[in-house]
Amino acid sequence: MNLARILLPLLLLAPLSQGVGFRLATYNVGAHLVIPPDGGPTYFDYGIGNPGGPDHDKVRDVLARLNADVVTLQEIHSTDVAGAPDDVDALAASLGYGYSYVAPTTNAFDTSLRVIFLSRYPFLSTAAVGSPPGAKEITRLFPVVKVDIPGTTRDPVILGLHLKSGTTPEDRFRRAVEMKRVAGYFASQGLTNDDNFILLGDFNPSSTNRTFTALPTGLPSTFSLGADLPFPITYSTNPLTYFSNNVPTKLSALQLNGSPSTYDTSRTTGPTLDLLLVSSAIAGRPHATEVYNSTLDTSNNVGLPKGGSPLAATTSALASDHYAVFADLELDQDYPNLTASASPTSLAEGSATSASIQVTLPSALTFPLTVSVTPDDPAALTLSANSILIPAGSTSGFITVTAERDYVAQGSRAVTFTFEAVGYDPVNAVLQVIDADAPYAFTTPGQTISESFAGFNGSRDPSPWVTSGAAWLGNDEGSSTTSGLRSYGSGPDGSIGVLLNSSPVISTAAFINDSDHSLTALQIDFTAEQWRAVSAGRPETLKAELVVNGVATPIPALDFTASTQLPSGAVAGGSPVSRSAVLTGLSIPPESAFSLRFTFAPGPSGITSPDVFINEFHYDNSSTDSGEFVEIAVSSKFTGVPGDISLLLYNGADGAAYGSAHALSTFTQGTTSGGHTFYSKLISGIQNGSPDGLALVVGGVVTQTISYEGTFVGTAGVASGWVFADIGVSQPGTDAVGQSSLGLSGSNTSPQSFSWVKFSNLPHSPGAINPGQTITAPAAPQGIALDNLSVTFLADTDQDGIPDLTDPDDDNDLQTDADELLFGTSPLDATSIYRPSFVGTSPGQSAFTFQTLTGRRYTVQRSTNLSQWNNILVQSGSGLPVSVPVTLNLSKAFYRVVVAYE
């Protein structure tokens, strides 16, 4: 409720007379939850039914609790108003409503469900809003009543409505037309914001905004749009946008728990479908609102005053799938009007322009006046101020509004600004905010969709893109060495960029063909950028695919490979490279979705082996074995933890492990070289072979098995079935203590490319790189990005899969586009064909007739055999038809005209 907020300025304006108040309610009662006594599935039933039935009585109980003076009900079934008396008569009588008005069904699409009014006071007039003569547009006619409220001459005009439901394009189009008829009715009646007018009911403001330039497909066959409604027609989820003047105010109504939900009583939360719109005159007076939910109706001490005692918690859910909305309004007090206007009236997210909203007083004051500014969607826009100070002696002030692009898909929406000042009726101004983050939508052939990622901060997926394979790390100009996604760029410039680890990253953009034409050809352009370079690093790649109906088609012309020749470090400007491709032969119907999928993949790095391997060990020497150890090398590319790695000793005699497992966490960390760190551990009792072996386990999986002094097969434990291959070198037991270990040697990045050798007479090197061993560090990744994407819906007039830009005959009428331009016919209209004709002029005479154009030369030729042609007329075009007499006494003759540019 917002009673306290409205009352405060009123109290400052005493002495104003007490206004006449009344209570108004709207309730969509059509769908009732039915629970069969036999335990069968529940279902929805329409109509209030007979008195004594659960549907009728639960609706009656809710209405009795609200105790409204006037109520509009939606989805009253035709059977409920059939008979004398009928079910509605019974409901009205039980609640003390002596007056009712049921909207007729004449020229409506839905003749089953009606909108009605019940009132304790008589109607001064009744009407129904429908389509104009010759049109059929309205789902259910909208009743309008003027109610004779006692004690005032400022009686309210109230319109109850139930707009077309659904989310399809045709549903949205029909709702837009219905709201245009409602707004047009109020304008035709001369009602202004000084009058007491009210709109309430089920507005069904669902789905997203859309502008229609033609009738959508899927409309009823009998749908006929009135000639007075020109295209374009825009559907908006904000009903205030349909009013060009005298914009009403939407009253905020909440449940007692603060929820604005008015729909789906079976859920805790739901959408707001049922609204109350009132004139500024009513909005500027004391008022209070509530969405009634019996679950929260626990006391007469909370919420608006109500009749009787609190209802059972289940009453609302059993009565309808909607909640009732009601309000206490006041009719008599009046204040001067503020006026407000926005310029421009729409603002695109991320645009460089701003909008200005000006508030004007009817006359200047001798003191300054502060006007508060309240947008109903504060997150959508940035305001220069939250209030306007109009100086003494002035009549106006303004605020500036900008729309930052947030890369979050919220749909285009209309933001309503409410301007309030002490001593004035409030006023609304509506600004359309065009969302730049919905799926990219093509609305007409020839359209180009561009994405520059300007202002993208790299904190989340930039809608309508979806990425996978890495986390977002923010903005970067190429200085960071941390793997992950980021917005590469300088200043406000952005992109989808990534510094890869060992896994690919996929980024997908969603598109929809929202036009009335099949999409048969696309042109795709983008800029591939490299913001971080490593000389001789990995050649990362970026590849693109078109995905239609789940089928991916590679686009090789868009492939990009990062340079490995740039100096290491950040690359100023991103070293942009353009890529372009034209795709033809497509078949993407209207209202169909498709996507572009870009894959950032790591290039070859030289790492062809596991990230963890056995690098050196010692098991036998002269006399008593001493200093036995095993060394394990771990690459910097290993993404696990030391606890994931363990070593097992295997007995070649029985193929089983002996001793306990040795976790890497028990090893001693040594030095790092070539991107590998060496861990070693002294292990007493390593068997002396003939044969024996070692098994390396990573993440519970065996990754390496080796043996010395013979080959064997594991028979037990995690290495059961594994072949322990002989490394080819051994320790005979005669080497000096501390010398002649076995290990890998050579220079490479791959352990498989190293060789096992015996380091004869050389000291052991546990925890360090081996003698004669050089491990080349894996190639480092490059930082690459996708930027400045441009996708064009190439026009294809004849829908042959060849775009008009390259199609020699756009309309497929067998005359080339070049010829049609020469002839003066349209290359985009198959019915526009250059055809000379014969016209009879007199008996035995005819004329060969053709149209001419200036700048052309026309040569008329005649032949009797279609092989030899003789010129009979050469003439410059004048823009007028030319007729050449033809004598009909020839046995046969053929005529043609040759056209050329002069």
Model confidence band, residue 18 (pLDDT cutoffs 50, 70, 90):
low
For residue 31, the model assigns a pLDDT of: 67
**pLDDT band at residue 110 using 50, 70 and 90 as cut-offs:** very high
Q: Is residue 60 a contact partner of residue 324, using CB atoms and an 8 Å limit? A: no
Q: Provide the β-strand partners of residue 758.
A: 742
If 0-12 CB within 10 Å is exposed, 13-18 middle and 19+ buried, where does residue 357 land? Answer: buried
**Three-state DSSP class for 79?**
helix
Q: Pairing state of beta strands 656-663 and 560-561?
A: unpaired
The CA distance from 763 to 330, in Å, is: 100
Whether residue 828 is predicted with pLDDT greater than 80 in this model: the reply is yes
Is-contact 59 77, C-beta < 8 A?
Answer: no
Tell me, what's the pLDDT at 890? 60
State the pLDDT at residue 7.
24
Q: What is the mean pLDDT of the chain?
A: 90
Using omega within 30 degrees of 0 as the cis cutoff, is the peptide bond preceding 54 cis?
no
Averaged pLDDT, 142-166: 96
φ and ψ of 719, to 5 deg: -100, 15
Residue 325 pLDDT exceeds 90 = yes
Residue 11 scores a pLDDT above 50? no
9 contact partners, CB below 8 Å, separation of at least 6: 420, 421, 422, 423
Indicate if the pLDDT at residue 815 is higher than 90.
no
The Cα–Cα gap between 604 and 500 comes to: 12
pLDDT of residue 535: 80
Paired strand residues for 842: 845
Chain-centre distance of CA 807, in angstroms?
Answer: 34
The predicted model gives 797-811 an average pLDDT of 81
Provide the residue count of the chain: 902
* Cis, bond preceding 310 (omega within 30 deg of 0): no
pLDDT value of position 8: 25
**DSSP reduced 3-state for 614:** strand
Is pLDDT at 200 greater than 70 in this prediction?
Answer: yes
Find the largest Cα–Cα distance for the chain. 134
Q: Percent of the chain having pLDDT more than 70?
A: 94
Say how far apart CA 373 and CA 32 lie, in whole Å: 41
Which of residues 17 and 215 earns the better pLDDT score?
Answer: 215
Distances, alpha carbon 819 to alpha carbons 740, 838, 860, in Å: 89, 21, 17
Spell out the SS3 assignment of 6-64.
HHHHHHCCCCCCCCCEEEEEEEECCEEEECCCCCCCCEEEECCCCCCCHHHHHHHHHHH
Helix (H, G, I), strand (E, B) or coil at 296: helix
Question: Measured between alpha carbons, how far is residue 619 from residues 670, 684, 740 in Å?
Answer: 20, 9, 10
Q: Give this prediction's pTM.
A: 0.58
Structure tokens at 813: 């009428």
The residues that bridge with 414 in the sheet, in sequence order, are: 432
- Integer Cα distance of 739 and 732 in angstroms: 12
Cα–chain-centroid distance for residue 828? Answer: 34
In this prediction, residues 833-839 reach a mean pLDDT of 85
- Is pLDDT of 687 > 70? yes
pLDDT at 837 over 90: no
Rounded CA gap, 458 and 226, in Å? 48
Residue in 534, 579, 529, 531 with CA at minimum distance from that of residue 557:
579
Q: How far is it, in rounded angstroms, from Cα 735 to Cα 732?
A: 7
Sign of CA dihedral 58, 64, 67, 72: positive
**Residue 38 confidence class, pLDDT cut points 50, 70, 90:** low
How buried is 378 (Cβ within 10 angstroms: 0-12 exposed, 13-18 middle, 19+ buried)? exposed
Is it the case that residue 15 has pLDDT exceeding 50?
Answer: no
Cα separation of 190 and 215, whole Å?
30
Per-residue pLDDT band at 523 (split at 50, 70, 90): very high
The pLDDT tens digits of the residues spanning 39-49 come to: 665 555 677 88
> Which residues does residue 659 pair with via DSSP β-bridges, in sequence order?
none
Q: Of 416-425, 597-606, 625-634, 697-706, which gets the smallest average pLDDT? A: 597-606
- The residue among 537, 574, 582, 576 whose CA lies nearest residue 558 is 582
- Rounded to whole angstroms, the Cα distance separating 891 from 893 reads 7
Closest of 850, 843, 846, 804 to residue 827, by C-alpha: 804
In angstroms, the first-to-last Cα distance of the chain is 80
Q: Which of 44-48, 667-671, 866-870 has the lowest average pLDDT?
A: 44-48
664/642 Cα distance (integer angstroms): 5
Query: What's the pLDDT band for 264 if we cut at 50, 70, 90?
Result: confident
pLDDT at residue 778 above 70? no
For the record, the structure tokens of 683 come out as 């292990």
For residue 129, what pLDDT is reported? 98
Angstrom CA distances, 402 to 171, 289, 405, 748, stand at 32, 32, 10, 58
For residue 13, what pLDDT is reported?
Answer: 29
Secondary structure element (H or E) that encloses residue 591, with its range: none
Least confident range from 90-104, 296-310, 430-444: namely 430-444
Q: What is the CA radius of gyration of the chain?
A: 41
The pLDDT of residue 699: 87
